[in-house]
Structure 1
Amino acid sequence: MICDDASAREWLLTLPECDDVAMSRLDRLIAMLATENDRQNLVAKATLDQVWQRHVVDSAQLVTHVPRETSRANWLDLGTGAGFPGLVIAIVRPDISVTMVESRSRRIEWLDTVVKALDLQNAHVIGLQLEAVPTFSVDVISARAFAPLPDLLKLSARFSTPDTLWLLPKGRSAAQELDQLKGWDHMFHVEQSITSDDAGIVVGSLLGRRKKGNQP
């Protein structure tokens, strides 16, 4: 379990993709975040003292669920907010195209600024409500504290195929939300987060809505 920022940085260095360029970009991201957080509340101020554990590694751990041989993939991050996990994924996996969806104007401005400042050529920002985003299929979908699982699936299932990998950090509610999920055929399970004993990640694939009459 990652319990502090020192161990968080050490863990990041175990990722094959997290080279000197990636670490430099992460350092710059954190410095920019601390400055911007005084202008707008991107993350809870108290979490800045543990930003590598609470935000960077909490995001970066998602790549461990994506096969190493997967490259040139399309990753869709919903409700990106401050850029977690979207910006972190784009930094540590430059071979993956990351599209971040965010509707709040000041967050959009922040994301665009970071993408440009860090020269993240594989990162793209869509500044729209999710409902207004044109449908396209992706290889990976992530969402961190965006919406309860049933609502999230209703909004975003149209971007998914049976081969799409869903990676949904859900904190303490992961198992409960999955247990209470009705009306969908899926192959979801809960993985333990490496940044908190109480946190889980919903991982798996979505097959589609259940037909009427086959509801649990």
Structure 2
Amino acid sequence: MTQNELLKDEVEARAYVAQFGDQVALDRLDRLTAMLREENERQNLIAAASLPTAWLRHIADSAQLLAHVPRGTSLDGPWLDLGTGAGFPGLVIAVLRPEWDVRLIESRRKRTDWLERVRVELGLEHCSVVASRLEVVPSQPAGVISARAFAPMQKLIDLSARFSTNRTIWLLPKGRSAAQDLASLPESMSRLFHVEQSCTDPEAGIIVGRLERVGTGLESGPGSKRG
């Protein structure tokens, strides 16, 4: 199944995710979905109606971001998942790429407690939970910035540009508002990004791009270049 084909059910979603990981990863994702169902009875992590289709709505929806970061890529810094909430897409990325430094940034205590339990349960040694508001997270050059419906595009850039170098990949699942959100940016900025079709929802999109960083001090991060 290719990136452009729309997934229709849990069987197709699982088969799609399998291309990004081995059986160990799939077993961990099964455990993640079980823990998600259990925890959702205590706190509203995700919409209850999406639980029966968790592989499609949450696991595959997160895993598809890896199609924009080719396997074998050496990230120029950590993968920062902003406002990770229930751990999507960050936890799924950490499971499928356990060697990567994935940082889950979330300010709500009940959510961060849950994320830490999952991280330990799944043995994700290179994944970490950053229990903090994004505004006070120390600046650092990121390899990838992801955020799933965290904030409108302009606000997201205002909050997060300090983490970005010229080589940082931005992967922003925006649901059905992707094109509209991108169009809200000034033309000089919107041209740096484009919308990719989601493989889990015919009306959803993912904003993908790189933010040009000049004169910020971040452009001199590992592996980055000026300009």
- TM-score, structure 1 as length reference: 0.93
The CA distance in 1 between the partners of 2:182 and 2:213, in whole Å, is: 15
The CA distance in 1 between the partners of 2:89 and 2:45, in whole Å, is: 13
Aligned to 2:54: 51
SS at match of 1:207: coil
SS at match of 2:52: helix
Specify which of 10, 28, 34 is matched with residue 31 of structure 1.
Answer: 34
Aligned to 2:12: 7
1:121 positional shift: 0.5
RMSD of aligned residue pairs (Cα, Å): 1.3
The CA distance in 1 between the partners of 2:201 and 2:187, in whole Å, is: 30
What is the correspondence of 1:27-176 to structure 2 with a 5 Å cutoff? Answer: 27-71=30-74, 73-176=77-180
The CA distance in 2 between the partners of 1:149 and 1:208, in whole Å, is: 17
Aligned to 2:220: none
Specify which of 156, 179, 199 is matched with residue 204 of structure 2.
Answer: 199
Equivalent AA in structure 1 for residue 12 of structure 2 = S
Aligned to 1:212: none
Deviations 1:44-83 (A, max 9, x none): 0000011000000000000110022213552000000000
Deviations 1:140-166 (A, max 9, x none): 000001000011000011000111000
Q: Which shifted more, 37-46 or 89-98?
A: 89-98
Structure showing the higher strand proportion among its residues: 1
Specify which of 157, 179, 185 is matched with residue 181 of structure 1.
Answer: 185
The CA distance in 1 between the partners of 2:187 and 2:86, in whole Å, is: 32
**Structure 1 segments (4+ residues) deviating >6 Å:** none
The CA distance in 2 between the partners of 1:196 and 1:3, in whole Å, is: 9
1:184 positional shift: 5.4
- How many residues align? The count is 207
- Unaligned ranges ≥5, structure 2: 1-5, 215-227
Aligned to 2:218: none
The CA distance in 2 between the partners of 1:168 and 1:190, in whole Å, is: 9
SS at match of 1:201: strand
CA contact (8 A) 1:108 1:127 kept: yes
- Unaligned ranges ≥5, structure 1: 210-216
Equivalent AA in structure 2 for residue 167 of structure 1 = L
SS at match of 1:68: coil
Task: Report sequence identity in percent.
Answer: 55
Q: Which shifted more, 94-103 or 178-187?
A: 178-187
